[in-house]
Amino acid sequence: MNNEELKKIVKEKYGDIVMQSKSVNESSCCGSTSCCGDVDYTIFSENYTTLKGYNPDADLGLGCGLPTEFAHIKEGDTVIDLGSGAGNDCFVARALAGEKGKVIGIDFTPAMIEKARENAEKHGFNNVEFRYGDIEKIPVTANKADVIISNCVLNLVPDKQKAFSEIFRVLKPGGHLSVSDVVLKGELPEKLKQAAEMYAGCVSGAIQMPDYLQLITENRLSNVFVQKEKQITIPDEILLNYIDDQELAIFKESGAGIFSITVYAEKPASCCDSDCNC
């Protein structure tokens, strides 16, 4: 499939997800109900309920981290959330940025934008805006954001090089990102790759962790480091549908696996070339 076909699949999938409950989304294939059978597990998502600004109506259980926890958002900041869904991370970011701050959510699924706008209107959030747009061509002017966040979304973008190039463009000089995403470490057995992709749609676009970090540095972002790392544990009873006991034991000993990471990076404050428009 080409990039446009991949985007169409993601758009259709997340259009269906917005109509499902949080419990369904958390327990099955990053939102797809077709491949987990009777097993009910929270695989990727983190608990938001204790965070200031948490809005249960906006929590679809689709994230793989808590980027706002590490994003160093200050009062008055302009924050952009890439792949904002129903607005969960945006509303937490708003609580940190305050009334003087501005939060912009970007999503290319119309149903998600509609849901997020409904949630914002319900609570009278005048400084939270949701825009329809593609992360490969962010609908925001250059040097706009103090902070960019994203939660389990960039791995689904076909052209990640373009996505990080756009992140660089949109960040202010001296601004930074904190993104949670799914990556791979080591080579997964071929059968397990297929199982992982069936069990967790969020893994389908995941790349090796060193390659992910290299993409960030290739796009001139600096001070890149992993703020949090968590291995995603797929239950043995699921894995044994695809690999045998011996293959499972070898896999566990290898250290290879699927990981959720939260990554920090900065746009240099001294950036003043033609791309920075300084």
pLDDT at 131: 97
HEC string of the chain? CCHHHHHHHHHHHHHHHCCCCHHHHHHCECCCCCCCCCCCCCCCCCCCCCCCCCCHHHCCCCCCCCHHHHCCCCCCCEEEEECCCCCHHHHHHHHHHCCCCEEEEEECCHHHHHHHHHHHHHCCCCCEEEEECECCECCCCCCCEEEEEEECCHHHCCCHHHHHHHHHHHEEEEEEEEEEEEEEECCCCHHHHHHHHHHEHHHCCCCEHHHHHHHHHHCCCEEEEEEEEEECCCCHHHHCCCCCHHHHHHHHHHCCEEEEEEEEEECCCCCCCCCCCC
Indicate the pLDDT class of residue 158, thresholds 50, 70 and 90.
confident
In this structure, the number of other CB atoms found within 10 A of the CB of residue 40 comes to 11
pLDDT at 143: 97
Decide if pLDDT at 61 tops 60.
yes
Angle at 208 between CA 261 and CA 223, to 5 degrees: 55
pLDDT at 46: 80
Q: How far is the C-alpha of 23 from the C-alpha of 7, rounded, in Å?
A: 25
Digit-coded pLDDT (tens) for 187-203? 888 887 766 655 545 56
Digit-coded pLDDT (tens) for 12-36? 666 556 555 555 554 444 443 344 4
What percentage of residues in the chain have a pLDDT greater than 90?
Answer: 53
Per-residue pLDDT averaged across 96-105, rounded? 97
Model confidence, pTM: 0.84
pLDDT at 232: 85
pLDDT at 212: 96
Which of the two residues, 108 and 203, has the higher pLDDT score?
A: 108
Residue 198 · residue 29 · CB < 8 Å? yes
The residues that bridge with 206 in the sheet, in sequence order, are: none
Digit-coded pLDDT (tens) for 212-267? 999 999 999 999 999 999 988 878 887 888 889 999 999 889 888 889 999 999 99
Domain covering 3-266, topology: Rossmann fold (3.40.50)
pLDDT at 160: 93
Domain spans of the chain, in order of start: 3-266
pLDDT at 62: 76
pLDDT at 75: 98
Q: How far is the C-alpha of 28 from the C-alpha of 40, rounded, in Å?
A: 7
User: For the chain, what is the mean pLDDT?
Assistant: 84
Query: Which candidate, 129, 219, 141, places its Cα nearest to that of 179?
Result: 219
Which of the two residues, 61 and 215, has the higher pLDDT score?
A: 215
Q: How far is the C-alpha of 152 from the C-alpha of 118, rounded, in Å?
A: 22
